[in-house]
Amino acid sequence: MNTYFGNIGIAISTLWDGLCVTMGHFIRKKKLNATLQYPRERWPIPERHIGFEEAKYNVIRCRLHVDIDDCIGCMQCVRACPVDCIKIVTVKLPKDTELGSLPGSTQTSATSKGSPKRLLVARFDIDLAVCMYCNLCTYPCPEECIYMVGGPNGHRHPIDYEFSERDRNRLVYRFATATDEEVAVAVAAAGKKPAPTTATTTATATATVTKKAPGKAGDTRLEK
């Protein structure tokens, strides 16, 4: 009997001690001394220093980004992706037709390296909820327009490792900037429908580009 009531007394005592500690922190709370409501609140990011400059990193496993003005629609990244998280739709222009010469076009006719652009990229999507961040898609790109941000690419795009979302659909980044009107003009000029969404498709399946949907700043998103 004494042991029974003794255990009850110990339980009450330890509970009281814990409550006293909690109330003490509650009354004398300090800044950054409690759980943050992430992602609305975030800890300050300390400066990193591991012995050499960030630009000398081989690669930082981070979010993928695409400089769409340099994309020629070759689909090399689609073929390299082991998880099929990259989707591209292109429209092939008639021979000797420049992309920038189409009526109402805002697209450039050549990349920053001077390569001519013969394909209108109507869709360029990357599903980061599926991406395994292997970086394999960046190596075969002849224009180096797809890359992981930060590190050696910090001068092109700052590092962005906090891009969590409550909705998985918002992890689909859509980089194509071609408008519906530009796609319609390109399709009319080519006289056929856009190419299939994957590089390995051999059937006669086609893809249609639909209206725009809101997305993050700097990225153009399209509804599926």
User: Is 120 a member of any domain?
Assistant: yes
User: Is 21 a member of any domain?
Assistant: no
Q: Which residues contact 210 (CB under 8 A, 6 or more apart)?
A: 222, 223, 224
Structural tokens at position 67: 């400089």
- Overall number of domains in the chain: 1
User: Is 5 a member of any domain?
Assistant: no
User: Is 93 a member of any domain?
Assistant: yes
pLDDT score of 214: 38
Pairing of strands 119-127, 172-174: antiparallel
Measured distance CA(76)–CA(165) in Å, rounded: 28
Structural tokens at position 113: 């390296």
User: Is 38 a member of any domain?
Assistant: no
Q: Measured on CA atoms in the order 53, 58, 63, 64, is the torsion positive or negative?
A: positive
The amino acid sitting at 127 is D
User: Is 13 a member of any domain?
Assistant: no
Helices (H) and strands (E) in the chain, counts: 3, 7
pLDDT score of 188: 85
Per-position pLDDT tens, the chain of length 224: 888 888 999 999 999 999 998 888 778 766 656 677 777 777 777 666 666 666 666 677 889 999 999 999 999 999 999 999 999 999 988 877 777 777 777 888 889 999 988 899 999 999 999 999 999 999 999 999 999 998 788 888 888 878 888 899 999 999 999 888 888 888 887 775 554 444 433 333 333 333 333 344 344 433 33
SS3 89: strand
What's 192's domain CATH number?
3.30.70
Measured distance CA(5)–CA(10) in Å, rounded: 9
100: containing domain: 54-222
Measured distance CA(137)–CA(66) in Å, rounded: 11
User: Is 24 a member of any domain?
Assistant: no
User: Is 27 a member of any domain?
Assistant: no
